[in-house]
Structure 1
């Protein structure tokens, strides 16, 4: 018998609620959108540009429209939220208060008697302020304006003309209805475009005319290409740049002019390139002379110029490699340290590039404030004197930063970091930075018997020296010239932690080269990077990794190793090891009922292997190279890409030395240095980010990442610090950090990690109103073990079929932009969970109960 059900499935109930809310919002949109539109006026709901019969969605052309619709207004299902907020405001708040409150003297007296005159006035003022806030936050209705529409049509004509459609036609139609709404459609007919034909030069100055064959060979104006104003603008800039770098100090773009002829040319454009002579304007005369090429006569460097000593005489003078150095006090820099930063050389032809490179290099030194470069003309011999004035920064600067923090390890913690920066420490423009950090905290579960409140502490120090050149016994200027701003960094740091995890001490050293081949490219070569990590409290392993302990305890109870009411940490055995370690040893030596064929035996074996790896001391001696190409022009650019590649090799030098010296191996067959088996592996990572600006504060962002670390030689696994993890606010946001993977395994470990990772993300970011922004995102990826000592099939990447274990998360985010940083809240839902059975992976836990909520600072990529 058919039976109806009155109770909806929770999923469909939620869907019904969302549909109801959407319908209500649409109803509000249609009913109240014209609330503040006067009779006879019409609210613009849509601007449409139709080009040769096709509707255009291109943001560049749609931005030409002067009268934009209200934010959120669209042709279908629009919800102009800011307009609705504006409509909530009263246009005549003072009149309303006068009519409803102030005009009734008895009501005023009662309220003053009840509150007080001061509070009464504050209530009135608060209503006025709230009304003003609604207007500021909201957006006034955009009313159709005939003049602005005609101006938009003219701008469209100009735009298409600038792109070569000289005979274009633009007209518009306005559809108005009885609901005070209007839609504007602009119709564009382009007709036949014009293409470039001949270019004829008319150059007045003989020196420039002689260079014409050189600079025209790379012209942006190509015969047969469609006319485009932008190409002419860029060509003008290109020619100006070429001539400014060829010695024409007084040249500027104003001397370049293009004249085009399109009369009776059958849609061809004939171009005349005209470059005029130099114009020298006097008080009452104008002189026209040919442009001349200028050379550098002298380069003077004033090393200690500032406002306070501007009247003091120069007391220290020296000459180094044709550079003149002047100082009002004793010269504090080795001459070579300054002259190496100067690209303007005596006898060279004047060049804008040399000037800009000098400016950049001097800024990169971080020794001076606003370096000033001035050129003085010597008219008698057509030369320039370059005067470079430097204002040194203070030699010493001190920083101090206190911080209060909480985490899953500690209830509350206090840290204090301080740093001392010493400039020009060896008179070669070097920078020495000495920093230290001290932290104390209270753990969430202090050890029994501890009476002190602050049972967590961490201390560390770092010393770093930066040299503004490549510190090398070999000459490197031919490979990495100084215009790439090369520098060398050397650092040494040490930290010590107690009651944090297993407790550890770490010591690291770094010798690194950095240089910038172009404005967009950064290269870093870590020639030597040494990290030594010593775990101090390995006996606390099962106190930190409690899930592993619980698994052991459950197995021990199941096989009768301990009673059901007992736990392995009850120290009933007389042994220097913990009962959990004894149980592992008994299982692996076949002293229990478990055999090697049992799943529980494999679980114990895996726990032991993981424990050995996470408690072992690490010595990593590596060399790495980082390449980064960032095409972002500035912080406001939302149409760019970033490509990063890193490759790292560890342990090869130590392995070679051990082989050559015939060093002995330990019981595991590995070489040791300072009683620690050093790590040997090769690791590489590729990261690509792409932003696409959709206009109107809408951005589509993509990220793709791949990383792999392969152990070999002296290692059969990757150190925990060098492995990969998945999940978290900057990764797959449907899983918390370290909670995803490896592969399809349903791991209960606190920290899941592996040596191979794939990750993909797509996110659309949009403005809601004001500083509030939203996002819709999809994240995909996972981690796997590959070519190491892990044998669990669910955790390993065996072939391309393992790609079916890529986890997919989706969700939405809310962000608030403080201008200098962004606070975001992202909600991620497990869309495809590879840890579930194959038939239950899609939308298995796709609900708010199982969602992951991530709080982050700035965007995830």
Structure 2
């Protein structure tokens, strides 16, 4: 206890010294600004949480939000100055470096306070608080020459939108705008918000342009705001009317007025597949290839390549170098000839080109074809110009997933355009080990499990078979074929080899939703049991022993992902649902074609037993942004697998497990559960039912140094009763009593591109301990678990 008191006293004295030293060169009427605070005194509105960032000046940054280290450096290493003349008498390179690295103290400034008050009032008016009052209050610590400012905000009652009117003088645009009002962000009854007006203006302009009106200036749309000085029945609510004006009163150029009346169509397409902004395309010799897709598509596609990027033969003659198959790119360009101009077509083309993963930058512009301007029908044409700067086609990568319970190293090679059709080829290999802590009189790190494997995959930027589906608006898609192998060694017990192949469709109808469908996914599991393994597991039930048999999995898989940020932009959530059905197709074929009267559990697939089961796994995550530096994260995960027909247990590869750096962090990898089954032996724990809930508060200490405080609750269970594993099966009348509980805290080093996470977790309730010993009444250092990992747990 004395050590902690001494540390507190030393820290306090150091803080006092640093603060005083930072201000010793200030004048008699100068004060160093240490903090700005904005307090809204009369209401709670999440939209006002960021008012603090409008206040000026911004105080000096502090190391771990406590010590103004850079200011101390700047003030401490000032040059020696003649007090009479002000001339520098002595200075050194080190002092100059220290001042350059440091920061001059930010001073209290009355003019900046007045400016901040006005900025706060402007922002409050923009948020609907037209009668807000802002009162600054300066707090001085004259002895230390320090000051802080608190801005007290009395927002008063906000104004609510009552009536929304449209006044549209341009007849060509009137119907288009009125037909699209359902998509308006402005709603009667909402609090007035100026940012909504700006978004509404952009929406109206874009809706007109999407109907072919290419030359629509932004200034034809503006708003008239009318505050209504009357009260509602409750004598409290203040109201505002909004009139949306669309007219030509702000257009002074007659040529623009004429072009506004023309509806435009797309014409031909010009494509620079290897665009280099450093080249002078006005003088650079070019090769141009004209491509026509089909008779149904009248568009002419001009593929333009600078001669300087072509390959050459040994004799010096040029050989034309084609970057891509022409159909690959033309298939994802939606600015086709005779199609009415719409920004949405350009956006869709951009998205689909970006999905090819071949281009570093994509620039799409339109150029008017003046020779095709029809002045009678008021129709014009636009050529589309695509400037595509390529990514590196070949790439090598090395990744490491380092955790305190499991470590993996992966090497991979990828080719983004292997067959000139933007096919994405990837081959990878990995090696990993489970890292376990053996408890004796000391903690000893050892590894008795290892795994290795690799995978070859090929992604095609189209959906095989479903050709017509690819024309659906905004749909993004690809087809993947992959084969792989996975080898695992479990101590001195057995080796497992898994051969896998799959055919997968992936499609994304919106930014929030993603689907993945594998109509066929085949895995062959071979097991090499070491001497003594059968004897070791003979004490367990027949169902448990079947988990370690060779089998074949012929699986149908579907994965649904939904990610959405709520309108307030402070909350978001994600939902992932995984469905698997294995062996049912093979069962049906066997039942129809086989003349054998053998029972279901004796059917074979290429000489091996095949597993039949149904499985679902639901993962729901919620994130709440408390402020710019702190957030709250929660996860709910539930999964269940049911063996059917040919199988009495779930395959080991498909069983659920908990523990480790990313789930139930107070337990080591695969060591929790099932249920309240107790065993003094340490072995891999797996189950058929999983339930896990996590809650974590994430905060910032200083810049990239962050922290987390968390709680984990969960367990796994068997779906069927096992006579040799008491209380391991799921039962509704007791499962809630078998939920393990843990808590902990940790540090995170957030470098944006990756995060290093170190947690300290301890069990609060362990259902696998003997009855009467499950609640942890005191902190036992032997039960602490310290997982290290890359990235967040969820």
* TM-score past 0.5 threshold: yes
* Correspondent of 1:300 among 261, 269, 278: 269
Q: Secondary structure at the match of 2:657?
A: coil
- CA shift for structure 1 position 351: 0.7
Q: TM-score, normalised by structure 2?
A: 0.80
Number of the residue aligned with 2:314: none
Structure 1's 482 and 677: CA in aligned 2 closer, same or farther, altered over 3 A? farther
Q: CA RMSD in A?
A: 4.4
The CA deviation string for residues 352-375 of structure 1, in whole angstroms up to 9 with x for no partner, is 111010111122123455444332
Preserved CA contact (<8 Å) 2:706 2:748: yes
Structure 1's 335 and 440: CA in aligned 2 closer, same or farther, altered over 3 A? closer
Number of the residue aligned with 1:556: none
Q: Does 1:642 align with 2:574?
A: yes
* Correspondent of 1:431 among 423, 431, 437: 423
Number of the residue aligned with 1:515: 507
My pick for the range that moved more, 258-267 or 351-360, is: 258-267
Aligned partners of 2:525, 2:14: CA distance in 1, in Å? 63
Q: Secondary structure at the match of 2:678?
A: coil
- Where does structure 1 lack aligned partners over 5 or more consecutive residues? 1-12, 73-78, 99-120, 445-454, 543-577, 586-603
- CA shift for structure 1 position 243: 1.4
- CA shift for structure 1 position 202: 3.6
Number of the residue aligned with 1:214: 179
Number of the residue aligned with 2:413: 419
Of Structure 1 and Structure 2, which has the larger fraction of its residues in helix? 1
- CA shift for structure 1 position 703: 1.6
Q: Does 1:356 align with 2:291?
A: no
Q: Does 1:83 align with 2:71?
A: no
Preserved CA contact (<8 Å) 2:618 2:638: yes
Number of the residue aligned with 1:105: none
Preserved CA contact (<8 Å) 2:601 2:647: no
Preserved CA contact (<8 Å) 2:722 2:728: no
Number of the residue aligned with 1:626: 559
My pick for the range that moved more, 509-518 or 180-189, is: 180-189
Aligned partners of 1:459, 1:850: CA distance in 2, in Å? 31
Number of the residue aligned with 1:291: 260
Preserved CA contact (<8 Å) 2:500 2:522: yes
How do residues 447-466 of structure 1 correspond to structure 2 at under 5 angstroms?
A: 462-466=455-459
Number of the residue aligned with 2:717: 784
Number of the residue aligned with 1:657: 589
Number of the residue aligned with 2:752: 819
Q: Does 1:605 align with 2:540?
A: yes
Number of the residue aligned with 1:325: 301
Preserved CA contact (<8 Å) 2:405 2:660: no
The CA deviation string for residues 660-696 of structure 1, in whole angstroms up to 9 with x for no partner, is 1236588993422122211111111111222222224
Aligned partners of 1:55, 1:357: CA distance in 2, in Å? 37
Q: Secondary structure at the match of 1:518?
A: coil
Number of the residue aligned with 1:851: 784
Aligned partners of 1:408, 1:388: CA distance in 2, in Å? 53
Q: Secondary structure at the match of 1:149?
A: helix
Q: Secondary structure at the match of 1:689?
A: strand
Structure 1's 691 and 376: CA in aligned 2 closer, same or farther, altered over 3 A? same
Number of the residue aligned with 2:366: 375
My pick for the range that moved more, 257-266 or 726-735, is: 257-266
How many pairs does the alignment contain? 732
Aligned partners of 1:459, 1:189: CA distance in 2, in Å? 63
Aligned partners of 1:406, 1:188: CA distance in 2, in Å? 48
Q: Secondary structure at the match of 1:669?
A: helix
- CA shift for structure 1 position 340: 2.6
Number of the residue aligned with 2:77: 93
Preserved CA contact (<8 Å) 1:278 1:290: no
How do residues 558-573 of structure 1 correspond to structure 2 at under 5 angstroms?
A: none
* Correspondent of 1:771 among 681, 701, 704: 704
- CA shift for structure 1 position 819: 2.8
Q: Does 1:311 align with 2:282?
A: no
Aligned partners of 1:407, 1:734: CA distance in 2, in Å? 12
Of Structure 1 and Structure 2, which has the larger fraction of its residues in strand? 2
Structure 1's 371 and 202: CA in aligned 2 closer, same or farther, altered over 3 A? same
Structure with the larger RCO, 1 or 2 (CA within 8 Å, 6+ apart) = 2
Number of the residue aligned with 1:339: 330
Structure 1's 56 and 250: CA in aligned 2 closer, same or farther, altered over 3 A? closer
* Correspondent of 1:728 among 660, 677, 680: 660
Larger Rg: 1
Q: Secondary structure at the match of 1:232?
A: helix
Structure 1's 788 and 69: CA in aligned 2 closer, same or farther, altered over 3 A? farther
Number of the residue aligned with 2:118: 154
Preserved CA contact (<8 Å) 2:335 2:345: yes
- CA shift for structure 1 position 516: 0.9
Preserved CA contact (<8 Å) 2:221 2:246: yes
Preserved CA contact (<8 Å) 1:59 1:694: no
Structure 1's 687 and 749: CA in aligned 2 closer, same or farther, altered over 3 A? same
Aligned partners of 1:215, 1:671: CA distance in 2, in Å? 61
- CA shift for structure 1 position 510: 0.8
The CA deviation string for residues 713-750 of structure 1, in whole angstroms up to 9 with x for no partner, is 11121111111111111111111111222222234333
My pick for the range that moved more, 480-489 or 826-835, is: 480-489
Preserved CA contact (<8 Å) 2:496 2:525: yes
